Amino acid sequence: MAPMKSERSQLKRAVRQLRRIRSFYAAAMVLWAGSAALTSWQAAGSRQLMVCVVLLAVFAALFVMANVALRRLGVPATAARVQRHATTSTVSNAGGRAAA
């Protein structure tokens, strides 16, 4: 049985949110990796370094869990983008200017 329209829209919303939060987790991993590198250069073995490493591990785990959730949903990476850009726009050129 095919999913209903509301189920499909919920699936699209879930995929969009997972992709957005996955990019946030990736940025946080880069930030904490840089912070851990800088802290290890300045104060190796300090408590601040351990906090940076723990936060890096937490965001890495969240990133992996978001990737697993996206794979379980079974949506290809470019399917939503291709479908959205494949539709034609119905906006008329009322201004008389050529479309760029």
Q: In whole angstroms, what is the distance from residue 34 CA to residue 11 CA?
A: 35
Average pLDDT, the chain: 83
pLDDT at 8: 83
Please tell me whether the overall predicted TM-score, pTM, comes out greater than 0.75 for this model. no
Exposure of 68 in the CB half-sphere (CA atoms within 13 A):
6
